[in-house]
Structure 1
Amino acid sequence: MRPTTVPSEPTVEIPIQVVLPSSDLDEITPTNSVAVISPCRQTLRPSHSNDSSVATLRSPFHVIEKGKVSTFQACRRATRKAWIAWIACDFAGVLLGYDCFYINGVLGMRQFKQDFGGFSTNPENVNGHLYTNLEKSVMVSIFALGVALGAPITGNLAENYGRRISILIGCSVHVVGIALQLIAGSPHSHVTNIALLSMGRLVGGVGLGMLSGAVVTYFNETAPKELRGALSSSYQVGLVCGICLSTCINLATKDLSNSGAYRISIGIQFLWVTLLTVGIYISPETPRWYVSKGRHDQAAIALSAFLGPDPTSSKVQGDLDKLIESYRNELSGDWIDCFDGGLARGSNLRRTMLGLLVQFGQQFTGINFMFYYGTTFFLQTNMPNPFALVIGITLVNAVFCLVSFWTIENIGRRPLLIWGAALMALFQLIALLGTVTDPMTTRYVIYLFICLFAATYASTWAPCAWAVTGDIFPAALRSKGIALGTTANWGLNFILTAITPYLVDSEYANLKERIFYIWFALCLICGLYSYFEVYETKGLELEVVDRMVKIDRVTPRQSAAWLRMQAINNFVDLESPAVLEHKLSLNIQAKRVSAASSSDGTSS
């Protein structure tokens, strides 16, 4: 064990072995690092000693450590099998973004209007055919309803049969949905076409709801702590890429004079789902799921696939022992357990509320208003080329999703959510005030601040909401908690998608650009909630997060400081302050006995 110097008055060296749960620290070994403990508040004295000459340690400890593992280094350490699994999971994001948004471009195609529209005298009709606003609303919003319905299904599936199997079943359900959408179109009647397309989008949404919950769980249970947030960002990047792909493919096919105009856009989804299915099929199950089922040999093999060394190596066996120990007292949880414990700090109910409310917050930012109704808004404010402007916002979103790879692991979840909400509120307010006047220069200023709003969302709330939801639940409830969060996100998406036209249109509430007042207020509320309730979890193992919330009962505002704490001896995530004090007492007592023996030997 390595001697560690404790700066105090007076100073004493105590031989200890140090393992640090800090987000900035990797595992301490005698060959790669040195830990220096510096005192801060809360004096911790050995209970048996009244000797003022004995060194005083204070807790929590601030730690300076050499050998920090960066996100880039963690990427290089990941195995090829790990990257195959993670990249395959990103195609779930591509599918989600593509299937959600391809319909917006398809609805404007001449051939689609003719095949899916009934008789109409509306000036926008094609050969006398056009669908009604109600039919349009059903075709667009029913997908979000399907995702909200599918997410809870994955809770029990992932718990009983594994995360990997849940993803494969979700892919199968989504394939059925794609097939139903492809059947729709000529030569059926427009009512049959709308029914088939809507049913296909509903079934496809159910499949993607199952995928969303299982993929987020898979990411969180297989990623090293340095990459967990970055992989949440990669999922969001996949979603934005899906949106961009849907726009590009619709542009390429919109002028075709047959059903291929929209069927190509629908059928291309088979490619994304095939890549996801093949990638997950050849990938291992998560080690944590194997441990939860008592299948420790298979857990070691899965750990080896993600960590690299042989299953019998000391590194793999050490990590396996930690997982087994952390699951030893975990019981399989039921849905009702997600709401257990009342409002006490660290209870399952408080954690479930956190997972649900950050997902609500992602929708309350108003980002989907720009994606769904951005074209209409720009037309109402006399902006030129509204379709191109929406594409520009989508590209800004995609670029700044890449920025979140760095920010989420270096700045942290909590500050990104707090300051992200504040900045989005500010940018929306400025954009809103700009609509008061008419000059074209003002219009471009409005667009600039809307782009800044989209950039802020992409680098803060887009990845962080999923990262927090994946981090906060205990092992026994993780798959069910993430499923509930996914349901909350897409359920609110469905509601907002359905009611926003009635809030904006002149025939109803006629808010028009004044709807930004609503998003502004909701962003402020999201920021305040994040300040009081969101924990900082960057760089922590999932088991350490559970200890911080459940055992130590750390408050969210103290969580960032808790990351800098360190405890004595192996398996620090099970040590309490009382245990630390006892071990310190034993170490000092042993040192005194040794010193006394040496003194007696010298005297004799």
Structure 2
Amino acid sequence: MAATELVGKRQAYYKGRITAFVILSCTVAATGGILFGYDLGISGSALALALGDRSSYVSRLECEVFAGGVTSMEPFLKKFFPDVYAEMHDKNSHATSNYCKFDSQLLSTFTSSLYVAGLVASLCASWVTQAFGRRTSMLLGGAFFMAGAVLGALAINVYMLILGRVLLGIGVGFTNQSVPLYLSEMAPPEHRGAINNGFFFFVGLGTLSANLINYGTQKIHSGWGWRISIGLAVLPATVLALGTLFLPETPTSLIQHTDSVHKATATLQKIRGTDDVQAELDHLIAAGGISKAAQHPLRTIMRRKYRPQLVMAILIPFFKHMTGIAAITFYSPLIFRSMGLEESSSLLSAVITGVIDVVFILIAMTVVDRVGRRTLFIVGGVQMLATHVMVGGILATQLGDHGGVGKGYANTVVVLVCVYVAGFGLSWGPLAWLVPTEIFPLEIRSIGQSIVVAVVLLLASVVGQTLLPMLCHLRAAVFFFFGGWTLIMTVFVILFVPETKNLPMEKMDQIWTEHWFWKKVVGEDEEEEEEERKDTVLSDMMI
């Protein structure tokens, strides 16, 4: 059955509409994205230190307000990382190359501790989400994040600080694993893309909010600014935790872990706005039966039958990080400052790119269910590839180890950075969360999403640890490096990623059996299953 036929069939017998109840429920759930985004913005990176007070055209204020200031606020460093604070004020090291500002392994490790904790937590969340439901994991995520924010804000030594960071990571692991699943399962198929993209919209909103908060708190002279920045993370965590108490469980989850067809039917009728939900309910019950038969999800997802989903679960989040978003975001303050802007240039950089990101995520939400996932992937990929090549070319020819870039070139690069961020917000930013959540059948959905989150957090940690050395050794060529990866991932989408728009999640297996490449993979597994069934029948007859 062709994909277009599936769409038509879905519209023919799946009744209902998008309801205000679904919008409200999914909005509350999607605030879980703020937790991840706020932490990305508030915790910062060692690169912020690298940019501060080390260049003739990058000011210390820029270090303090850029993309997550607590790891570069002087009171924070003086209290928890005195060696880094002393090195930052070493007057004998200001001749360092623009590409080789000092790195702090200890600070990088502090930042990465969240990702390591989140990675482990996301794998644990797989079992919790499948056994107890999506709401339970969301509630736990909000509670852990709340505890981490309080502990971090009250920290009196580095051990409390790191423990708080670990709790934040556990919260992120649980919410990133459960929230996208909740959104995809609650949404009608024809609106699933828009609703699921709400998660990444709140990630971007959280990061932007953190940048603005850091700008205000770094001006507090009492030295408590970093405590306020970390402590305010309690607010979105509280909204999620309390809001989750009033959210309905998804019909899919009710069937999977409670066997309550009555509750699932009532919930489905409420979220679809109609009593005629039997066709969709039948598919959910069938999927639930298959899910219960799969006793070992991790072993199940390794089967050849699920090879396409496993490949997507690993490669899509991997490719997202290899778009080079970290290089563009982290390096943009230096580029903006080279224009000759005043001390607020770092804030301008963070806010402008943050606003553009949020705006284009909103655009993606409005068009993703009409133009499709593949189109946005390809358009965004081409857009990012072009900007990588042009930015790399300008920096390679105009920016040396010392000094700045001419204002005309700087203006051009600023525009290119904005074009790049727009392309990312339109494509790989939100779609890297959307597509994996909608392709997993129920029996591997929870473990599949855990793998996605684990790869996201692992790559975030690796990129955070390696970006500075890459900038130092590759210099402007780092943009050609990421440009090459962007080309590879765009070709990958063209060849191997089928379109998923408007298809019910329970019917998504059809896209693999009709794909020119994946049908060869899953087809062989079906043949093996048939042989196993024949062997079983023969064995029974002999007995």
Asked if these proteins are the same fold (TM beyond 0.5), I'd say yes
Give the match's secondary structure for 2:140.
Answer: helix
The aligned counterpart of 2:38 is: 98
Give the match's secondary structure for 2:22.
Answer: helix
Give the match's secondary structure for 1:172.
Answer: helix
Match of 2:268 among 289, 293, 303: 303
The aligned counterpart of 1:287 is: 251
- What displacement does 1:497 show? 0.7
CA-to-aligned-CA distance 1:448-491 (integer Å, 9 cap, x gap): 11110110010111111111101111111011101101111110
- Given the alignment of the two structures, is residue 124 of structure 1 paired with residue 108 of structure 2, yes or no? no
CA contact (8 A) 1:97 1:240 kept: yes
Distance 1:164 1:414, change over 3 A: same
- What displacement does 1:99 show? 1.2
- What displacement does 1:199 show? 2.3
- What displacement does 1:282 show? 0.7
Structure 1 segment 359-438 matched on structure 2, within 5 A: 359-376=317-334, 385-435=345-395, 436-437=397-398, 438=405
The aligned counterpart of 1:87 is: 27
Give the match's secondary structure for 2:190.
Answer: coil
Structure 1 segment 47-446 matched on structure 2, within 5 A: 77-103=17-43, 104-118=68-82, 121-122=86-87, 124=89, 133-184=104-155, 188=156, 192=157, 194-293=158-257, 294-309=259-274, 313=275, 315-330=276-291, 331-332=293-294, 333-341=296-304, 347-376=305-334, 385-435=345-395, 436-437=397-398, 438-446=405-413
Distance in 1, Cα, partners of 2:338 & 2:411: 14
Structure 1 segment 494-573 matched on structure 2, within 5 A: 494-505=461-472, 509=473, 511-549=474-512, 552-555=513-516
* Bigger relative contact order (CA 8 A; separation at least 6): 2
Distance 1:121 1:300, change over 3 A: closer
TM-score scaled by structure 1? 0.73
Greater helix share, 1 or 2?
Answer: 2
CA-to-aligned-CA distance 1:585-604 (integer Å, 9 cap, x gap): xxxxxxxxxxxxxxxxxxxx
Letter in 2 for 1:141: S
CA contact (8 A) 2:35 2:145 kept: no
CA contact (8 A) 1:111 1:259 kept: yes
- What displacement does 1:84 show? 2.6
CA contact (8 A) 2:363 2:426 kept: yes
CA-to-aligned-CA distance 1:510-556 (integer Å, 9 cap, x gap): x222210111001011111111211100011011212332xx44337
Letter in 2 for 1:473: F
Distance 1:132 1:555, change over 3 A: closer
CA-to-aligned-CA distance 1:202-225 (integer Å, 9 cap, x gap): 221121111111111111111101
Letter in 2 for 1:470: T
TM-score scaled by structure 2? 0.81
CA-to-aligned-CA distance 1:350-369 (integer Å, 9 cap, x gap): 21111210111111101122
Distance in 2, Cα, partners of 1:553 & 1:24: 17
CA contact (8 A) 2:30 2:183 kept: no
Distance in 2, Cα, partners of 1:165 & 1:381: 49
Distance 1:28 1:503, change over 3 A: closer
Q: Flag structure 2 segments of 5+ consecutive residues without an equivalent.
A: 44-67, 92-101, 399-404, 520-543
- What displacement does 1:157 show? 0.8
Q: How many residues align structurally?
A: 470
Letter in 2 for 1:231: I
Distance in 2, Cα, partners of 1:154 & 1:340: 22
Give the match's secondary structure for 2:221.
Answer: coil
CA contact (8 A) 2:137 2:178 kept: yes
Distance 1:82 1:261, change over 3 A: same
CA contact (8 A) 2:308 2:518 kept: no
CA-to-aligned-CA distance 1:240-277 (integer Å, 9 cap, x gap): 10011101111122111224311111111111011111
Distance in 1, Cα, partners of 2:261 & 2:90: 63
Distance in 2, Cα, partners of 1:377 & 1:348: 45
- What displacement does 1:382 show? 7.6
Match of 1:470 among 430, 437, 441: 437
- What displacement does 1:404 show? 0.4
- What displacement does 1:196 show? 2.2
Letter in 1 for 2:11: E
Percent identity, aligned pairs only, is 23
- What displacement does 1:496 show? 0.8
CA contact (8 A) 2:387 2:419 kept: yes
- What displacement does 1:326 show? 4.2
Q: Flag structure 1 segments of 5+ consecutive residues without an equivalent.
A: 1-18, 30-67, 342-346, 559-604
CA contact (8 A) 1:21 1:544 kept: no
CA-to-aligned-CA distance 1:86-111 (integer Å, 9 cap, x gap): 11122111111001221221223233
CA contact (8 A) 2:372 2:500 kept: yes
Letter in 2 for 1:157: V
Distance in 1, Cα, partners of 2:231 & 2:436: 32
Distance in 1, Cα, partners of 2:374 & 2:103: 44
Greater Rg by CA:
1
CA contact (8 A) 1:21 1:540 kept: no
The aligned counterpart of 1:452 is: 419
Distance in 1, Cα, partners of 2:127 & 2:209: 33
